Amino acid sequence: MITGTGVVKTFKQRGKLLGAREVRALRGVDFAIPKGGAASFIGESGCGKTTLGRIIAGLESYDEGEIAIDGVSMSALKPKQRQPHFRKIQMIHQDPYSALNPTRTIHQTLHAPLSLRARQTGRPKSWIEERAAEVLTLVGLDPGTVLSRYPHQLSGGMRQRVVIARALTVDPEMLVADEAVSMIDVSLRLGILALLKDLRERLGVSVLFITHDVATARYIGDDGELYVIYRGQVVERGPVDTIIADPVHPYTQSLLSAIPVLHGLELPGEQPVVPLESLDDSRSQDGCLFAPRCPFRQERCTAERPLLQVTEGVPQEHACFYPERRSVIARPMSEV
Ligand SMILES: Nc1ncnc2c1ncn2[C@@H]1O[C@H](COP(=O)(O)OP(=O)(O)OP(=O)(O)O)[C@@H](O)[C@H]1O
């Protein structure tokens, strides 16, 4: 189980025109991803999804809050002591082209982490070859064909499978798939998603999807949890199918209205929606972060920040003072 409590991350950015400024990438995020479970972080570009994924995988530091892996608090450990814990979480990046060393064969790529593991666990050299063939088979590749090849001799989909095979060499507990299919040919995407789903079922590895596409989030299965992130804050959280069928937060509603199966879902507000680019995240803002773009905003929304909460009659957690507004666009699941 991987949990996060009140995770805060601020980046200092330096621009030629604007000088130094702070970007609040995460503003106190809580999450819990159970062993063998599935979760998706969804939100538009710049909302903080990748930063959160990198923090979970131990690739980025955080300023405040707590990350715990199987009940062990990471803040209490020195960086070197954290390594074996974070090794349980492997990240699959969106670009399988740059993730693999072009001068190494697939055999060499898999050999390095496997020989380290063999040394750590006192396994014989023969185990390295056996395990290399095993992880390739697990990801649907034929070891006899692939081991001697270089990355450029493989398709994008095959390269991503090799990246996943390399992640499996350390027997991870969780795979963090950051837009893992966005740079792959459309015809091969479903195969990679099916593979991640299959690994979850067969190996019990949990999968965290980072995506801006709710259809991808839904693919992980109806037991998956969806985290809708807006400007560094989780604004809605709950079972993926519940949220898709009945989104509460106006931001989730606008995100879902962009997916093809939900087209025609107009937000019935009268107030103009401000584009995200015009909002300045370096300045503090009172009230709901979505208020400047929200067609339903009321006076209270600009004065007070709603936190993630459960209210009567609403099955998912939401950070909106007026969840009843959702009834305007709620749809039965059969229509989704
Ligand atoms: N290393 C960094 N240095 C400075 N700012 C950063 C850094 N990494 C991320 N940011 C900023 O933090 C914010 C969140 O970025 P992040 O990449 O986590 O968003 P995202 O939702 O994953 O976006 P995308 O879908 O485009 O990858 C953005 O404003 C981004 O510019």
Which atom of ligand 1 is nearest the CA belonging to 26? Answer: 14
Provide the residue count of the chain. Answer: 336
**Residue 270 Cα to chain centre, angstroms:** 33
Give 14 Cα–ligand 1 centroid separation in angstroms: 14
Show the domains of the chain with their CATH numbers. 2-221 (3.40.50.300), 227-335 (no CATH)
pLDDT of residue 278: 54
Give 227 Cα–ligand 1 centroid separation in angstroms: 17
Give 51 Cα–ligand 1 centroid separation in angstroms: 6
Look up the ipTM and state it.
0.97
Give 108 Cα–ligand 1 centroid separation in angstroms: 32
Indicate the pTM of the whole model.
Answer: 0.89
Give 52 Cα–ligand 1 centroid separation in angstroms: 10
Q: Pairing mode, if any, of strands 64-69 and 72-73?
A: antiparallel
231 touches ligand 1 (CB under 6 Å):
no
pLDDT of residue 213: 82
Q: What is the mean pLDDT of residues 26-51?
A: 94
Average pLDDT score, the chain? 86
Give 18 Cα–ligand 1 centroid separation in angstroms: 18
94 touches ligand 1 (CB under 6 Å):
no
If one compares 199 and 265, the residue with the highest pLDDT of the two is: 199
* Euclidean distance between CA atoms 78 and 139, whole angstroms: 34
pLDDT of residue 264: 37
pLDDT of residue 282: 56
**Dihedral (C-alpha) 161, 167, 170, 173: value to the nearest 10 degrees?**
-110
pLDDT of residue 167: 97
Given a contact cutoff of 8 angstroms between Cβ atoms, the answer to whether 235 and 251 are in contact is yes
**Residue 314 Cα to chain centre, angstroms:** 24
Beta pairing partners, 29: 7
Q: What is the mean pLDDT of residues 273-299?
A: 73
Q: What is the mean pLDDT of residues 108-126?
A: 93
Tell me the per-residue pLDDT of 128-157, one tens digit each, with 9 for 90 and over. Answer: 999 999 999 999 999 999 999 999 999 989
Q: What is the mean pLDDT of residues 199-210?
A: 94
DSSP structure string for 192-252: HHHHHHHHHHHH--EEEEEES-HHHHHHT-TT-EEEEEETTEEEEEEEHHHHHHS--SHHH
pLDDT of residue 189: 83
Whether 36 shows a pLDDT value over 50: the answer reads: yes
Which residues, including other chains, have CB under 8 Å from residue 31's CB and lie 6 or more apart? 2, 3, 4, 7, 39, 52, 227, 234
Q: What is the mean pLDDT of residues 171-175?
A: 96
Whether 261 shows a pLDDT value over 50: the answer reads: no
Given a contact cutoff of 8 angstroms between Cβ atoms, the answer to whether 255 and 228 are in contact is yes
Which atom of ligand 1 is nearest the CA belonging to 47? Answer: 21
Residue 309 phi, psi (nearest 5): -150, 165
Mutate to test the pocket of ligand 1, among 7, 21, 49 (most ligand atoms within 8 A of CB): 49
pLDDT of residue 27: 95
| Identity at 277, one-letter amino acid code | E
